Chain A
Amino acid sequence: MTLMCEDQELLEGFLTESTELLEKIDDDLVVLEQTPDDMELLNRIFRSIHTVKGAASFLEFELLVKVSHKTEDVLNKLRRGDMSVTPEIMDVILEAIDLVKVLINDIKGNEIVERPIEGTIERLVALLENNEGSAAAATAPAEAPAAIESGDNATTMDTPRSDDLPPDEPEHVSAAEQVPIPEQVVPQVASAPARPAAAAPANVSQQSPPKGEELTDKSTVRVEVKRIDDLMNQVGELVLERNRMIQLSSDFQNEMNMDVFGEELGKLSKRINFVTSELQTQVLKMRLFPVGSVFKKFPRIVRNLARDLGKKVNLQVSGEDTELDRSVVDEIGDPLIHLLRNAMDHGLETPEERKAAGKTPIGTIVLTAHHEGNHIIISIKDDGRGIDADRVAAKALEKGLISSEQLAILSQRDIFDLIFLPGFSTKEKASDLSGRGVGMDVVKTNIRKLNGIIDIKSEKNKGSEFILKLPLTLAIIQSLLVEVGVETYSIPLTAVLETLRIKSEEFHSIGGRKVLKLRDSVLPLLDLSDTFDVQEAGEPGEFRYVVVVGAAEKRLGLVVSRLMGQQEVAIKSLGTYLNDVEGIAGSTILGDGRVALIVDPAKLIDTSS
């Protein structure tokens, strides 16, 4: 099949529109599963898929039309009340939507290949046939496992709909809640063509989501017209100030009174300062993206995981509107998915275990995001079993990640941090989900790449919370300028915990390493003038300054000669030739035009320990 469409513009419009619609559908479908009575929602989903189908048939994408058409039929049945929403039907619909996404991606990549769509179509058709009239009665006992597995969802969705269903339906609904049929027993429908449907969802849930994610278009941005108007206003003001500056400069050349000149220049620089910082904020805002764009794929992931793990989960999401820079949004998706999986797999218990522990059978995962100064705080909290510090310690010891001497001096908080070690896993057997001992290590690396900090709070049997603290943007950062000998360095303020002024004789040495007794802990020190081999500027004074930095979970004191102050700096890359310099994260240009290097505290902490 070749690409028949000649009108590129039309095609692009179609791709953009369907991408947006499909992104929304995913989310809507998961919500629909929980609130099957929401006719408005159902109608919206129906309309979306209808739009995709319509446009696809106009552009003659046959495969796409076939799949979306059948999906539309199934949705139509749901809409008319001929069928009601069950997790099984949902699995098939989601599978179909994933297929639609794959097909659209093919079109987008300009390589249309023949995809096996029969399986999905068959399953969709099976749904259509088997729910017709009283044939549905035959499905009665088989529908049971669905209700049991997905627990609460199934219950809430089953009860209200009983009114508007054929009389024989309500009975097996109530039966469904009691009959404990194991998962393996063929769910869904008894007839032959539907059998693949039962087997398929499992594969789909593992293979399809990544494909679906790719659909998100990151090369274009939608910006509110108002924001652009604001920006235009700011630029207008900047032009005014520029004219003012040209005027002032020519006045100066015409021998202006120096006092007046000084005063005018002072005013001008104040105004330019104001306008440029406003402009900076505006442009930054345009790059901002609600974190919800990452969060919105989570309900789907949690749903699939819950079904795979046989756990009951209630995912509560809040703060989706919290905005952060695109560069950060792109990077936090994977770490968050890892943390969610971790919470689902390790954190939450099975319904039986939960009952035994005196908890509600449905576990809760709370995902929140909010701003805190120049940071965004994202927290993933579960009410599961919590982290068992003893078990973590034992495992780390067993895997040889730590020695028993090292273990002896660790606090409980330090032991939690062991889970971030590469190769750590408490799982006896690796599953598809976790247990390979890579996940948390990846989370830590990714978060650190973003200059972020990760914190763990956990209480046995009460649950655990993973708190990510991330900078809002990666382009402009607050930094602490310090002098090291004759050179100036910039330390990202996100990593700075505190600064101290210390007399040289207060430094101690343990095993050849300089340390500092800071309150009741021992802080390892790193003299930046040694690390960076800096030329000393004259005699060292009586006092040295220590900048205490923390990355992820470790602390380190950087010894510098002088603190120069805090400044907002734009990060410039050192270019590819120098991009791997040890301990240097990048560079920035200071007010006087000189280049200052930005220190990479995380790397320094890593290499010094």
Chain B
Amino acid sequence: MEEVTTAVHNEKAEQERMQLVSFNLENEEYGVEVLKVREIIRMPNITRVPNTPHYVEGVINLRGKVIPIISLRKRFNLDTAEADSRTRIMVMDMSNNLTGFVVDSVAEVIRISSDEIQPAPPVISGNIDQECLSGVINRADRLLVLLDLEKMFSPEEQEQFGRSATLQ
């Protein structure tokens, strides 16, 4: 009996509507959960921070708060591209730490129901860390890769975020 009820419950949960922010990286379309995105800004002056991993672009001043900026292109080992007028920084809430991600462009907010999400095929885009792929959305006209950027960081890095969250 109990199994049945949980199954029903799951089905309901799966059909929940979700909103995603879609963005582009090297002609591919990606999506992240809208609730994680704090704001989307144009490229400001970035201050480089020495002795950091190559994908850390540096830090910026976001209205008096200093936040780190990570290049998704560099993180995913794609070819680097010059920033242009469409380049954006998505400021995301990573366990209470604001972090900015540089993307080629931000497209739109799309609504999906959660049962549209399919598990990611094993080799989708050879360069993207498998851990942060949380699925793909296959619609007639487009293929969207769903990312969970919090999983992008190694367990140690995640732990670092978590620790600071409890400290604050």
Q: Nearest CB to that of B165 among chain A residues? A: A576
Verify B61–A578 contact, CB threshold 8 A: no
Q: Does B139 contact A (CB under 8 A)?
A: no
Per-residue CB contact flags for chain A residues 585-609 toward chain B (1 = under 8 Å, else 0) read 0010100011111000000000000
Q: Give the one of A531, A574, A578 with max B CB within 10 A.
A: A578
Give every chain B residue within 8 A of A577 (Cβ-Cβ).
68, 94, 97, 99, 157, 160-161
Is B50 engaged at the interface, CB distance under 8 Å to the other chain?
Answer: yes
**Residues of chain A in range 543-598 having any CB-CB distance to chain B below 8 Å:** 572-579, 581-584, 587, 589, 593-597
Give chain A residues whose Cβ lies under 8 Å from the Cβ of B157: 577
Flag if A578 contacts B59 (CB, 8 Å).
yes
- A6 touches B (CB below 8 Å): no
Q: How far is the CB of A427 from chain B (nearest CB, A)?
A: 37
- Tell me whether B49 is interfacial, beta carbon within 8 Å: yes
Task: Indicate which residue in A534, A582, A584, A594 contacts B45 across the interface (CB closer than 8 Å).
Answer: A594
Q: How far is the CA of A531 from the CA of B97 in the complex (A)?
A: 28
Q: Given A587-B59, A589-B61, A597-B47 in contact, is the A576-B66 Cβ separation under 8 Å?
A: no
Tell whether A584 pairs with B49 under 8 Å between CB atoms, given A578-B59, A589-B61, A595-B66: yes
B51 interface residue per 8 A CB criterion:
yes
Interface contact A587-B66, CB-CB below 8 Å: yes
Beyond A581-B50, A582-B51, whether A574 also contacts B97 by CB under 8 A is no
For B58, list chain A residues within 8 Å (CB): 595
> Which chain A residue lies CB-closest to B56?
A578
Contact A575 B50 (CB under 8 A): no
* A575–B97 touching, CB < 8 Å: yes
Instruction: Tell yes or no: B60 within 8 A of A by CB.
Output: yes
Contacts of A589 in B (CB 8 A): 61, 64, 66
Question: Is B142 an interface residue when CB atoms closer than 8 A count as contact?
Answer: no
| B51 and A583 contacting across the interface, CB-CB below 8 Å | yes
A487 beta carbon closer than 8 Å to chain B = yes
Chain A: minimal CB distance from B155 (Å): 14
How many residues on A have C-beta within 8 angstroms of the other chain's C-beta atoms?
24
B9 close to chain A: CB less than 8 A: no
Asked if B25 is at the interface (CB within 8 A of a chain A CB), the reply is no
Residues of the B chain whose Cβ atoms lie less than 8 Å from the Cβ of A533: 50-51
Query: Contact between B51 and A595 (Cβ–Cβ < 8 Å)?
Result: no
Instruction: Report chain A residues within 8 Å CB of B51.
Output: 532-533, 581-584
Known interface pairs A587-B66, A589-B64, A593-B61. Does A574 touch B49 (Cβ–Cβ under 8 Å)?
A: yes
Instruction: Pick the most buried of A487, A576, A584: most chain B CB atoms within 10 A of its CB.
Output: A576
Nearest-neighbor residue (CB-CB) of A535 within chain B: B48
Name B50's contact: one of A579, A584, A594, A595 (CB within 8 Å).
Answer: A584
A596 near B47: Cβ-Cβ < 8 Å? yes
A576 touches B59 (CB 8 A): no
CB distance from B128 to the nearest CB of A (A): 20
Tell me if B112 is interfacial: C-beta within 8 Å of chain A: no
Chain A, interface SS category? loop
B56 surroundings in chain A (CB, below 8 A): 578
Number of interface residues of B (CB under 8 A): 26
Is B15 at the interface (CB under 8 A from chain A)?
A: no
**Complex Cα–Cα for A572 and B63 (A):** 12
Q: Is residue B111 within 8 Å, beta carbon to beta carbon, of the partner chain? A: no
What residues of chain A lie closer than 8 Å to B160, measured between beta carbons? 576-577
Task: Report yes or no: B49 in contact with A576, Cβ–Cβ below 8 A.
Answer: no
Q: Nearest Cβ distance between residue B41 and chain A, in whole angstroms? A: 13
- Expressed in whole angstroms, the Cα–Cα distance for A533 and B163 within the complex equals 30
Interface centre among B64, B66, B68 (most CB of A within 10 A): B66
- Scan residues 484-511 of chain A and give those whose CB is less than 8 A from a CB of chain B: 487
B68 engages A574 (CB within 8 Å)? yes
User: Separation in Å of the B161 CB from the closest CB of chain A?
Assistant: 6
Interface centre among A572, A577, A596 (most CB of B within 10 A): A577
Expressed in whole angstroms, the Cα–Cα distance for A582 and B69 within the complex equals 18
Q: Is the CB of B48 within 8 A of A487?
A: yes
Please state if A576 and B163 are interface contacts (CB–CB under 8 Å): yes
Q: Do B50 and A531 touch (CB < 8 A)?
A: yes
For residue B163, which residues in chain A have a CB less than 8 angstroms away from its CB?
A: 576
> Which B21-76 residues have a C-beta within 8 angstroms of A?
45, 47-52, 56, 58-61, 64-68
Query: Measured between alpha carbons, how far is A574 from B45 in the docked complex, in Å?
Result: 16
Contact A575-B61, Cβ < 8 Å, known A587-B47, A597-B47, A597-B49 = no
B49 and A583 contact, CB distance less than 8 A:
no
Tell me which residues across on chain B come within 8 A of A578, comparing CB atoms: 49, 52, 56, 59, 68
Which residue in chain B gives the minimum CB-CB distance to A570? B64
- Docked complex Cα distance between A531 and B51 (Å): 9
Task: Choose one: A534, A576, A593, A594; the contact of B97 (CB below 8 Å).
Answer: A576
Report B94 CB to chain A, min CB distance, Å.
Answer: 8
A574 touches B61 (CB 8 A): no
Q: Taking the complex as formed, is B164 at the interface, i.e. its CB lies under 8 A from any CB of chain A? A: yes
Contact across chains for A576 and B50 when beta carbons are under 8 A apart? no
**Which B residues touch A579, using CB under 8 A?**
164
In the complex formed, the residue of A with least CB distance to B153 is A577
CA gap between A575 and B61 in the complex, in Å:
12
B residues 90-144 with Cβ under 8 Å of A? Answer: 94, 97-99
Residues of B within 8 A of A487 (CB): 47-48
Q: How far is the CA of A288 from the CA of B65 in the complex (A)?
A: 24
Contact A595 B65 (CB under 8 A): no
**Cα(A487)–Cα(B59), bound, Å:** 13
Task: Say whether A572 contacts B49, CB under 8 Å.
Answer: no
Q: Is the CB of A594 within 8 A of B47?
A: yes
Contact B68–A595 (Cβ < 8 Å): no
Q: Which residue of A534, A576, A594 is within 8 Å of B161 (Cβ)?
A: A576
CB distance from B38 to the nearest CB of A (A): 14
The distance from the CB of B162 to the nearest CB of chain A, in whole angstroms, is 9
- Report Cα–Cα, A415/B102, bound state, in Å: 52
B6–chain A nearest beta-carbon distance, Å = 37
Given contacts A578-B68, A587-B66, A589-B61, contact A534 B99 (CB under 8 A): no
- B residues contacting A by CB (< 8 A) are 45, 47-52, 56, 58-61, 64-68, 94, 97-99, 157, 160-161, 163-164
Could you list some 26 contacts between A and B, CB below 8 A? Answer: A487-B48, A531-B50, A533-B50, A534-B50, A572-B65, A572-B66, A573-B66, A574-B66, A575-B66, A575-B97, A575-B98, A575-B164, A577-B97, A577-B160, A581-B52, A582-B51, A583-B51, A587-B66, A589-B66, A593-B45, A595-B45, A595-B47, A595-B59, A595-B66, A596-B47, A597-B49
Q: Give me the interface of A with B, judged by CB distance under 8 Å.
A: 487, 531-534, 572-579, 581-584, 587, 589, 593-597
Since A575-B66, A576-B97 are in contact, a sample of 19 more A-B pairs with Cβ atoms closer than 8 Å, ordered by chain A residue number, is A572-B64, A574-B49, A574-B68, A576-B163, A577-B94, A577-B99, A577-B161, A578-B56, A578-B59, A579-B164, A581-B52, A583-B51, A589-B61, A589-B64, A595-B58, A595-B61, A597-B49, A597-B50, A597-B59
